[in-house]
Amino acid sequence: IDDYMNIVYDDLTRLSSLGIFVHDVIDNRLKKVYVTVISANGDMPAVNKLAQNLGHNSLSYCRYCICPRDTYKSSTSNTKKTKLQQEVVNKGLDIFNNVESLIQLMKPSERGVVKKRSGCFSNGVFDFPLKDKSFRKKVVPLLNNQTLLPLIGFKEDTSYFNFDLSTGIAIGPILDVMHNILEGLGQKLVSFLINYEERDFQPGMNLGKNEIIKLNKVLRCFKNSPTNFGEEITDIKKLYKAEQMLRILVMLPSLVAKTSLSDELKKIISGLAKIVSFCFSFWIKKTEIPEITNFIEDFISSYESYFNRVEHRHMVTVALHELVHIPLLTVLYGQMIIF
């Protein structure tokens, strides 16, 4: 992609250093202005392409840090597997000082393989090395090693991170919290709550048919309050836009307060609503950052613990893990609502 983007970077270099004259219609005269890059935005495939990341389906699935997926080692047969202890992988992350031992650890026979629908668990670890400019420069000599590449998480150095005139590029493209994170998490959670089948119904985890009917009756009371695009929410099963999903997430704690859902699940729903509110706040104090950081880490741990069972591990997606980077991105770029 650099073959195309380098042309853009060259133009931006000239605009950043030489500037360009534009006509000021108010003063009726020419003024010189300068242009540079603050950040980039897009959906997951687009920003992974821009940063040359391997993608959210790879072993190192996060766009911002090298948090690896849980891997599983074959035991006596293909049907019996044991989980490779996450702590073993964590100890091998000293990429720069112990490359040889890391290469041994990262061999598939040692680290195991990623299992389908096994989720993206942080396992209580939130301080993995960031894939920022300094990290990328250090690992460039290792990019030819196919054994380490899955853990490093990107396949080549890119001009995007080497564009020195940028003012805000720090750890990658800006996080689109509405579409990349909150909508995805909301869809997973709401679908789980209302996916009622007689044979699959689990008390405390799913809403019953009658509860869904009552919930939809409440939603119809909001007919006079459409979204910015004019849609009205009348059925929780019919959420077609991210904005609709966010409105549901904010209202969901109240909607399920008197249902049969377990207190643990209600707490998770309330926690997600609080994170949504933070992401779409215009006014955020510096003193709020440590508080929301701890809250998000506790939320992720609670969410992972609740869904850490074979049939539900797919509920733990990359969207959940990337919540942990929201506070840092807020410090670097400003309120997420701006983007």
Instruction: Tell me how far apart the alpha carbons of residues 274 and 281 are, in angstroms, rounded to a whole number.
Output: 11
Contact 191, 61 (CB under 8 A): no
The tokens of 106 are what?
């990262």
Q: How far is CA 45 from the centre of its chain?
A: 12
Q: Does residue 60 surpass a pLDDT of 80?
A: yes
Per-residue pLDDT tens digits for 72-118? 776 543 444 454 445 445 554 555 566 776 777 677 777 777 777 78
Per-residue pLDDT tens digits for 135-146? 887 888 888 888
Provide the β-strand partners of residue 82: 73
pTM equals 0.81
Helix (H, G, I), strand (E, B) or coil at 60: strand
Residue 198 confidence class, pLDDT cut points 50, 70, 90:
very low
Residue 275 confidence class, pLDDT cut points 50, 70, 90:
very high
Lowest mean pLDDT among 211-220, 227-236, 251-260, 304-313: 227-236
The tokens of 103 are what?
């290469």
DSSP state letter for 18 = T
In one letter, which amino acid is 95?
I
Length of the chain: 339
pLDDT of residue 288: 92
Helix (H, G, I), strand (E, B) or coil at 29: strand
pLDDT of residue 269: 93
DSSP state letter for 140 = G
